[in-house]
Amino acid sequence: MVERDRRRNERRQLRIEVQFGQDGPALTAKISDISLTGLFIDTLTTLDEGEKIFFQFRLPNETNGEYIKGEGLVAWKEEFVGMGIRFSRMRKSDWERMKVYIGQLEK
């Protein structure tokens, strides 16, 4: 819980599907909030803090269907609730698309 208090970027509420896993996007869950530095995945299947995770998701405002893809680290988890992911690698073009979308979301 302390990790959430140290956020540098404000999170925005969002409910979209995400595919994720350790060796590639193998599981499906929901993102419940997102920022420029991370996201929260609602899932019963959590990984340990510090573990690497691959993810992909589509932004609801885009019609081309192209995924935002990246890697992150599990920053914190709550068993049977979900896990906070801190982004560690993402294409610049994906980050820019996400930045525009997040900027349009209400606080």
Domain that holds residue 43: 2-102
- % of the chain exceeding 90 in pLDDT: 73
Q: Is the pLDDT reported for residue 2 higher than 60? A: no
53 in any annotated domain: yes
107 in any annotated domain: no
pTM: 0.87
Q: How far apart are CA 20 and CA 29, in angstroms?
A: 8
Q: Is the pLDDT reported for residue 107 higher than 90? A: no
Distance of CA 49 to the CA centre of its chain: 15
Q: Is the pLDDT reported for residue 50 higher than 90? A: yes
29 in any annotated domain: yes
- % of the chain exceeding 70 in pLDDT: 91
How many structural domains is the chain composed of? 1
Q: What is the DSSP letter of 70?
A: E
> Domain holding 9: CATH number?
2.40.10.220
Confidence of residue 76 (pLDDT cuts 50, 70, 90): very high
25 token code pair: 């996007």
Q: Using DSSP, how many helices (H) and how many strands (E) does the chain show?
A: 2, 6
